[in-house]
Structure formats: C-alpha cells, structure tokens
Amino acid sequence: MPAAAQTATPAPGQPPANWYPSRYGADDQIGAMNLLNAQKVLEAVRLVTRGQVYRLGVPVGRETPAFPPRSLSVTVMMPDQFGGATVPSENRMSYADDMFTGWLGVGSQIDSFAHLGIDNVFYNGNRAQDFMHTTGVTRLGIEGIPPMVTRGVLVDMARARGKPMLDEGEIITADDLRNVMRDQGVQVRRGDVVLIHTGWVELLERDPARFGKGEPGIDNGAAEYLASLEVVAVGADTWGVEAVPFRNPNRVWEGHQTLLAKNGIHILEVMDTRALARDQATEFLFVLGQPLLKGAVQAIINPIAIR
C-alpha cells in the first residue's frame, strides 16, 4: 500500500517535496488517466473526418539502439520439424513459433509509474521495497494502465525552428512550448496526449549510433508546464523525451521524475511523428491498448493516430 502523506528524503541543500499522496487518493495507481471518461473519448472521436490512420510505433529488432544495457532478439523456430519434416498429419501441417528475449524498454515504448522514481519512492508514495520484485512489480504495473483513447496534439518543434531536425542536447523549454503552441494554433486540453516532433526519429534509419547517443528534448521546466496542463501522457520522437546530454550532468531525468512520479503522467518514447508533421496535423484521435504484461514497468507499443 502507498505510504501515508509524508515527504521523500530531499537531496542535500534541497527542500522536502510534498508530492504524495496523489490528488486522486492514497490508493490510486492510474494517475492522470483518471481524467479520461466517455465524454473525452467522444470529443476525440469527433476529430476523425478523413479516415486517415498513422502508425506511431517503429519496427523493433536486434539492431534497434536502446538505453544501455537494453537489447532484444526474436528467435524463430519450427518445433520438431527438422530437416523439412512436418507435423504428423495427412495434410502435412507446418508451423513456426517465436521466442522473445530481451528488455521491454526498446523502441517505441510506454513508461509505467513503476519505471522511475525519487530516492526509491515512486508514484503516490509507493516505496520500492514494498512492491518492486525481480518477478514483477505488484503495483503500478503495465497491466493496470487503462486503454488510452483520447485527443492527441502534435507540437512540431522542428518546423518552429526552421530545420528538419533539432540537435542532440537542444533544449525545449516551457516558453518554447507555449510559443509554438500559440503559433501553430495548438491548444492542449485536460486529458490530452502531447507528442513533440523534433525530427530525431529520422536517425533511426540512417545513423542509429548517433540516435542512441544523445537527443533533443524538454527540460524539467517544460515537464512541469505540461503537467500543469493536466495531460495524460507526454511523448516525443526521441528515445528519452528529455534533452541529452543533460545541461547539468549532476541532475538526470528530472523530467521523468516530474511526469511519472510526481504527477502520474505516462511517457511515450520513440514515437514516429514524421507523417503527422509532414501533414501538419495539430490534433487527432489517439488510441493505445498496450500489451497487458503483468508486473512489467515498460512495454513496447504501437499507438495509432487517426484523423
């Protein structure tokens, strides 16, 4: 169960941060997903006027760059069908199976609230010692995330800065987001999913080594601003959403802490936003039903945008 209202142990010289229990109650596990309801779904569905579908996930395989030490592989087998044999049957049936070996945080993915915390405390005051096990988490797991059907908005930072791709370490601030949203006519509403296009995903195909070494992205102030808009998820076409290298190497992944731990907002990474950006789409129906992997803290996903 979540700890009672208290403060996480502050870093030296830092004031305590009163960030739990959650606004949704001390037992809550779904965070900002509480904001989604039938009315929000119907509002999002009304955005579909063209029947145009966009795949937001990317193909994932052995060569996909990932945050170290993550990797994965798929092994295909034809069990007991050696040397061209078939399954004993008059119709000579053949079949193949596959085995997945690897990490779930590779390629297009969603972060659950059990993925990243503050001093071993995770969303809503859940302490690692109470729910984190090598066999899977007993709270905040991927299987507990409700279906995400809502309005999505695209913030095209590459177009705003007049170049096809932002650079590694290039920071997107709260003011940047405000200005681009205003200029591009993007209005974020409660319960939305916000996707940021930087152009970085293009490197997956032509320079995967560079893709995985750094990235443009938001800073913590931008994460705080997005949280204030009461969104349910923040995503980008990068592998970590935040700018890397970090401006301050002694403060890492603060945006993740702000979104996941403090505000119960999911993070969507390696979103393929190229087609949406090319079509200058600003809003769309966003649909995600993640795999229900019991006890997992991340999952490989393929969300869909529909206009």
Element (H, E) at 277: helix 274-278
pLDDT 10s digits, 100-134: 999 999 999 999 999 999 999 999 999 999 999 99
Rounded CA separation 3/21 (Å): 8
Domains of the chain: 31-60+105-306 (3.50.30.50), 72-102 (no CATH)
pLDDT on residue 18: 87
Which residues lie closer than 8 Å to 243 by C-beta, 6 or more apart? 169, 170, 171, 172, 215, 216, 217, 218, 219
Question: Which range has the worst mean pLDDT, 14-23, 132-141, 205-214?
Answer: 14-23
Kind plus residue range of the DSSP H or E element containing 55: strand 53-55
- Is 188:225 a contact under the CB 8 Å cutoff? no
pTM of the complete model = 0.92
Token pair listed for 68: 């170290």
Q: How far is CA 20 from the centre of its chain?
A: 22
Name the pairing type of β-strands 121-122 and 126-127.
Answer: antiparallel
How high is the mean pLDDT of the chain?
Answer: 94
pLDDT for res 14:
43
The per-residue pLDDT for range 144-155, each reduced to its tens digit, is 999 999 999 999
Q: How many residues does the chain have?
A: 307
What stretches of 117-219 show up as alpha helix (H) in DSSP? Answer: 128-131, 157-160, 174-183, 203-206, 208-213
10 Å CB burial of residue 238 (0-12, 13-18, 19+) is buried
Mean pLDDT, residues 30-40 taken together: 97
pLDDT tens-place string over residues 266-293: 999 999 999 999 999 999 999 999 999 9
